Amino acid sequence: MTTSTDLLTSRKNLHETKFVETQLAALKPGQILLKVDTFAFTANNVTYGAFGDAMMYWNFFPAPEGYGRIPVWGFADVVESQAEGIKPGERFWGYYPISTHLVVEPARVTPHGFSDGAAHRQKMAPIYNSYVRVAADPHYTKTRESERALLRPLFTTSFLIDDFLADSDFFGAREVVLSSASSKTSLGLAFLLHKHRKGQVAVVGLTSKSNAAFVEKTGYYDRVVAYDAIAQSPHDKPAVFVDMAGSGEVRAAVHKHWGDGLKYSCAVGATHWDHMGGPAADLPGPKPQLFFAPDQVKKRLTDWGPQGFEDRIAKATNEFIASVDGWMKIVKGKGKADIERVYKAMVDGKAKPEEGHMLSL
């Protein structure tokens, strides 16, 4: 019998966590046991917890009453298999809990990978249930595992927002204003806008004073504005607001400053998860619209087909990864103490933006 170590988070208070030991039952026919090797932990994972109930992120990995298991993206190896087409020793990229082990039920097994067919995961978006065989992934390289884990999930969202905005002709805007400009999702979007939309739209990054120098250093933004200087920044061009922060205060400042010049307000993340709030109905300009990435995935899978979609994402991701060596530092950690330290810094908003944390339990 295998014992798994799991990090549990209070669903009512993200600051409250504990490690528990769970005895896993013997595998049933059709199941496999995965040993989680390494995973990325970013502000995006805190967002999973902040929206755990509203977006069903707690549903992926069941936990005791009152607690949840925050999902992460990373790599795991098959320890034991009772599923046809899956062999021990194979390595898979996918969605995992912060745990040492995970039991899944492979369905729709192909040379490329499989989907977890567990009943409790079927109501969620399919993209979160897919596991990719690294041996069959033409875009995988061992030396870039960390960058892939840190950036691929976030950059996929960046790619989809860029695609959505361009497909909508930026709603007639000439500027794209990004909050939480130092977050990796914002950096990915700014990279795409700067590389492919230059001359069409300018890219404005909103960030804290302490992170302004870092954001400017990346070279992805045309203008960087501190949060407390929003009211003094130029606003003579129609703009789209992409809100990665989720801060009610920042959202209100942007809407009041741009007013009718704001053509679209796109709510994406909650890096400022503890400052969310503020009634959208009282805001000047357009009502914020939640961006749900799986909807855009569904559209492009229809338009481009699965392989066409994957090829476009992979090409853009590799271009972005090639650009981050100048500013991103990979920081590796192992064990409960390192995980607790990184988790606390991320929840408290004190993590350094230039660091990319790769962890293992």
Fold type of domain 2-141+328-360? Quinone Oxidoreductase; Chain A, domain 1 (3.90.180)
Side chain identity at 319, as an amino acid letter? E
Is the torsion defined by CA of 58, 59, 63, 64 positive or negative?
A: positive
Q: Which of 181, 159, 188 is CA-nearest to residue 293?
A: 159
10 Å Cβ neighbour count for 111? 8
Round to whole Å and give the CA distance between 131 and 144.
Answer: 18
What are the residues whose beta carbons fall under 8 Å from the beta carbon of 30, sequence distance 6 or more?
82, 83, 105, 106, 117
CA–CA separation, 134 vs 90, rounded Å?
8
Residue 127: count of CB within 10 angstroms of its CB: 15
CB burial class (10 A; 0-12, 13-18, 19+) of residue 303? exposed
d(CA 233, CA 77): 50
Rg (CA), the chain: 20
Q: Where in the chain is the domain with CATH 3.40.50.720?
A: 151-293
Query: What's the token pair of residue 339?
Result: 């995980």
At 229, give phi and psi (nearest 5°).
Answer: -115, 10
Task: State the Cα–Cα distance between residues 251 and 229, nearest whole angstrom.
Answer: 14
Please state the pTM of the whole predicted model. Answer: 0.84
Q: What digits encode the pLDDT tens for the residues 208-248?
A: 999 999 999 999 999 999 999 999 999 999 999 999 988 88
The token pair that represents 211 in the structure block:
């992170």
Q: What is the pLDDT along the chain (361 residues), one digit of tens a residue?
A: 799 999 999 999 999 999 999 999 999 999 999 999 999 999 889 989 988 898 899 999 999 999 999 999 999 999 999 999 999 999 999 999 999 999 999 999 999 999 999 999 998 888 899 999 999 887 788 888 999 999 988 899 999 999 999 999 999 999 999 999 999 999 999 999 999 988 899 999 999 999 999 999 999 999 999 999 999 999 999 999 999 988 889 999 999 999 999 999 999 865 544 455 554 557 889 999 988 888 898 899 999 998 899 889 989 998 999 999 889 999 999 999 999 999 999 999 888 999 999 999 9
How many helices (H) does the chain have, and how many strands (E)?
7, 18
Q: What does the block give as tokens for 173?
A: 């805007």
Question: How many Å apart are CA 254 and CA 303, to the nearest integer?
Answer: 34
Rounded Cα gap, residues 245 and 52, in angstroms: 16
Domain ranges in the chain with CATH number 3.90.180.10? 2-141+328-360
Place of tokens 């995961």: 121
From CA 132, how far away is CA 112, in angstroms rounded? 6
The helix (H) or strand (E) run that includes residue 258 is helix 248-258
- Using alpha carbons, select from 82, 2, 75 the residue that is nearest to residue 40: 75
Q: What CATH number was assigned to the domain covering residues 151-293?
A: 3.40.50.720
For residue 230, give Cα distances in angstroms to 193, 206, 223, 357: 21, 8, 12, 30
